[in-house]
Structure 1
């Protein structure tokens, strides 16, 4: 039994295949990291605006808040595979193709943006109201309140939110691989499934799990480092 397993392992996981897996690992990290940055850059302002327009906050605006909440909820509710297909014309317009690692960044980032916006709004909502009132009493502007008070206070939670977003996108990137998105997902499907190479499938899966574990470990450590509570 073990001889057959070792023989199959050596037969399927040749140096050329390991090289392919290494390149696919880099592609997965590249598109997931780029999509996470996209989600933070565009999702954080959306989450901040959603929070500050809530009832009792500095820019209270019930109508605008309802619109923002609706947009976030709709964005989070659309299944990623459907979003991937719907955004194909947009991806083709921006990147010039719907295939490949770079093309996958667009739907990945769009899927993560409302997710991170919700996490940002919730993180700011966890700030004690007494501290918020103190900052307001000092005569701070809205910009100062957000940049000097809200964000520093919520930084540990926001780091954990970014870590969670990255981990979630790892799973989405594997799904994108099913439609030619590149990365470990594409390798697992193209070789592990379509070419009946189960050891490639298992190798890709184990690497994805390891990436998630490393990201969560060091993301949580970084969050704890900035936690002043």
Structure 2
């Protein structure tokens, strides 16, 4: 059998399956990244502003929030995935498929996002903050017009990193029926020994990750040049 005929036969049999796997993986990862930022971005801002050197120091708030972030981040995702099954069923009605994967992905990613945001904001030149304070800027104005604006390229790179990280976690979620390319690779490669399907699924994962990372890097560079 020639390569072309094999390829044609392969995609006629598995093309729809792989296409759905790509869609499920992208939806799962994109939704989880977005929701993780809804929770993690404010947490990251609060971490940096409540720190000892922040614009609104608060040792108690910083200690509690930092402790929660560290606690959740210390739990391996595969364990968190199983432990959260009851909560996932309560929130979305199922622990399977894309909806069932989003809940644990968001919970594991939000603390990661908080640290990424904290690190990005910490890179902002302190003299800019001092200048804003000298002009009488409020805390909210400093957060939105100085911290978030100046750190935007770094925040975009962090978002791309979060997306790629969750992409990998989504493959783990495939072990408990979340669907996506990870589920396909496990079911067909590990359980059925169909290594051709597994190989194509892995290649698609690599391509998608490279595309997302490249778009993130290009966007960050474009914004960085624009702000300068």
Instruction: Give the TM-score of the pair, scaled to structure 2.
Output: 0.94
- Any stretches of 5+ residues in structure 1 without a counterpart? none
Q: How does 1:51-66 map to 2 (within 5 A)?
A: 51-66=48-63
Please identify, of 71-80 and 25-34, the stretch whose mean Cα deviation from structure 2 is larger.
Answer: 71-80
* Residue 78 (str. 1) matches residue 75 (str. 2): yes
| Residue aligning to 1:151 | 148
| Residue aligning to 1:186 | 183
Q: How does 1:23-34 map to 2 (within 5 A)?
A: 23-34=20-31
| Residue aligning to 2:196 | 199
- Write the distance in 2 (CA, Å) between the matches of 1:71 and 1:80: 16
The equivalent position to 1:215 in structure 2, one of 204, 212, 216, is 212
Q: Secondary structure at the match of 1:139?
A: coil
Instruction: Give the TM-score of the pair, scaled to structure 1.
Output: 0.94
- Write the distance in 1 (CA, Å) between the matches of 2:223 and 2:7: 46
In 2 relative to 1, CA 43–199 (structure 1 residues): closer, same or farther, beyond 3 Å? same
Displacement of 1:140 after TM fit? Answer: 1.1
| Residue aligning to 2:98 | 101
The equivalent position to 1:114 in structure 2, one of 111, 115, 127, is 111
- Write the distance in 2 (CA, Å) between the matches of 1:84 and 1:127: 35
- Write the distance in 2 (CA, Å) between the matches of 1:73 and 1:22: 37
Poorly superposed stretches of 4+, deviation over 2 Å? 5-14
* Deviation digits for residues 170-190 of structure 1 (CA, Å, limit 9, x no counterpart): 100001001101000111111
Contact residue 28 and residue 183 of structure 1 kept, 8 A: yes
Aligned length: 226
The equivalent position to 2:12 in structure 1, one of 12, 15, 26, is 15
* Residue 45 (str. 1) matches residue 54 (str. 2): no
Q: Secondary structure at the match of 1:127?
A: coil
- Write the distance in 2 (CA, Å) between the matches of 1:57 and 1:141: 13
Please identify, of 112-121 and 143-152, the stretch whose mean Cα deviation from structure 2 is larger.
Answer: 143-152
* Deviation digits for residues 34-66 of structure 1 (CA, Å, limit 9, x no counterpart): 000011111000000010001122210112111
